[in-house]
Structure 1
């Protein structure tokens, strides 16, 4: 079973940030570049997932993307792709780099040369070795087992030349993944199918990826540099034409889920909480009862007294209650 890589929310956040940020903001080019790198990285990860699907595993297997575990009070690990079977565990560190790569040791580093310019990065060999050592420790502490852990660095970009290869970690292209994994699948069984399910469930429960939201904080963008109101996906402003309808002033199309998407923008971009006044200013709705109903019909945790009340969003949950249709609350 392969867990999907859910990058849709992050893509959406970047796209909405570019729609709402001031066109003259100095870091706009940086945001655009980061979005492009995100797209490139996702394409590389997709190629890896497709290669894993081509693998003929003997028994049940689980593939968990983007795993972050706290293995001890003072150590956390990040794993791009974690593969678990009854016979072995495999860690893939994915580096979607191009150009000429030189893996240095003593001390560990990675040098990338593109068009005559050289860039230095933390060494993925060291990162992968550290992740394997930490996961070994965590498994012994949690389950008293010693599953063999194999590691590899995967380079999805075909436009890469290796000047100096790492000596302790294997390099793979996506095409090499199926045979590499099938070679590992010859180990004897170490755990039962039920025991493996228990391990996977524990990892998924304790997985705590870094929360990048609200995205504006990453780029130190002040709130007054972001547009308020209803914004169409095409970039035009929304104008309210009826009690429940907003039309884009640019493309003239009806803006679907105008309120829901605008409030979602707030939590993805601005802050993890919102006050009654902030919601009123954001949606440009002055009727206090209407704003109150909107906030209460969302999956938000309220704190504070009536005057200072804040509504907090949990990024692991849906924003809108299933039975609620926020547009139906707009009656003035």
Structure 2
């Protein structure tokens, strides 16, 4: 069963918000658009794997997408983790097109497309490192360590996968997405000893859920953009112009006259993705373009379940994109 489903990555949300808020003629826009296209393609590639994963019997497998765990000073992220009582398999998904050659000498992936070669870090080395970190993490949580089977999955079904004739390792670890059910079935036949009782398995599932720490990139710092360069105010969701004006309890677009009761929600989501995950009344007044402190207070209270501080130091939490644990227990 799916414990942690595949959702749109936070970085993709952030890039969309950033493209929405920077001017069309901004000097960094082209680079952001290129990064957005790559992230979107990767997300689509991972989503396409859901079809192949659906062939695994729900009662026998617990599947986590985009699991990010602490490894001491650093974090490691697993694209897909498949947990069973007998073994764990972790899948590193690569949605790369072209002819893909796994070079075992230089531990490098070489992609050839339209007679142009391009080098990528070795995903096999990457997934093996993730397996090592996962083993250490499980030991730290005082659970038995089952066999861990790392796999690199090529999500683009048109890609051609190539290996050196003498390479005996990579062909066992790199598979096209269509091979997922068969490879997992192979592991089922390979491992017959239970590593976890039903009780231990449930405890480990819970521990994995609560230990997941989503990454919120400091996106403005990444592209060296200041908050002052962003478009302020509430955007019209019909004609996409800025800003809408607050009148008589509603937002009205000065360009197309579209009316909205909750236009501020999208704007506050953008704020949480780009600037900060909490906001004060004064900051919201300036950002949303509202004069009334009481109006802003009501709007913030309607979208925020948490606040800290007192009086003018009060800040409201904007936790729109915090992952919620599943309710399978």
What is the TM-score of this pair, normalised by structure 2?
0.84
Matches within 5 A, 1:38-117: 38-56=39-57, 59-71=59-71, 73-74=72-73, 76-117=75-116
Structure 1 residue 252, shift from structure 2 partner: 4.2
With over 3 angstroms needed to count, the CA separation of the structure-2 counterparts of 1:215 and 1:280, relative to structure 1, is: same
Using the TM superposition, name which of 216-225 and 19-28 deviates more: 216-225
Q: Secondary structure at the match of 1:69?
A: strand
Q: Which residue of 2 is the match for residue 283 of structure 1?
A: 288
> Which structure 2 residue ranges, 5 or more long, are not aligned?
324-329
Q: Deviations over 1:28-81 (max 9, x none)?
A: 112222222222112211221210111247x5311001112224x345322110
The answer to whether structure 1 residue 258 and structure 2 residue 263 are counterparts is yes
* Alignment CA distance shift 1:197-1:28 (3 Å): same
Q: Deviations over 1:253-304 (max 9, x none)?
A: 333511222222211122233333321111111122322343344234333x
Deviation at 1:307, TM superposition (A): 4.7
Residue 236 of structure 2 is aligned to residue 225 of structure 1: no
Question: Does the 8 Å CA contact 1:103/1:110 hold for their aligned counterparts?
Answer: yes
What corresponds to 1:142 in structure 2? 141
How many aligned residue pairs are there? 314
1:315 is displaced (CA, Å) by 5.8
Q: 1:75 to 1:259 in 2, by over 3 A?
A: closer
1:7 aligns with 2:8: yes
Query: Aligned equivalents of 1:243 and 1:76: distance in 2?
Result: 48
* Cα distance in structure 2, aligned partners of 1:49 and 1:130: 24
Superimposed CA distance per residue, residues 155-209 of structure 1 (whole angstroms, 9 cap, x where no aligned partner)? 1112322343672452211211111111211221222222111111111111113
Is 1:203 the counterpart of 2:198 in the alignment? no
The SS at the match of 2:179 is helix
Q: Using the alignment, how far apart are the partners of 2:80 and 2:296 within structure 1?
A: 43
Task: Indicate whether 1:299 and 2:299 are aligned.
Answer: no
How large is the RMSD of aligned CA atoms in angstroms?
2.6
Decide whether aligned partners of structure 1 residues 255 and 29 sit closer, same or farther in structure 2, where only a CA change above 3 A counts. farther
Unpaired runs of at least 5, structure 1: 319-332
Distance of 1:176 and 1:242 partners within structure 2: 57
Quick one: distance in 2 between partners of 1:91 and 1:22? Answer: 41
Cα distance change, pair 91–315 in 1 and its aligned pair in 2 (3 A):
same
Look up the match of 1:328: none
Structure 1 residues 68, 239: CA separation in 2 closer, same or farther (over 3 Å shift)? closer
Which whole-Å CA distance do the structure 2 matches of 1:248 and 1:33 have between them? 31
SS at match of 1:103: strand
TM-score between both structures, scaled by the size of structure 1: 0.84
1:171 aligns with 2:170: no
In the alignment, the residues of structure 1 paired with residue 157 and residue 185 of structure 2 have an alpha-carbon distance, to the nearest angstrom, of 23
Q: Distance in 2 between the 1:230 and 1:316 partners? A: 19
C-alpha distance in structure 1 between counterparts of 2:186 and 2:225, whole Å? 49
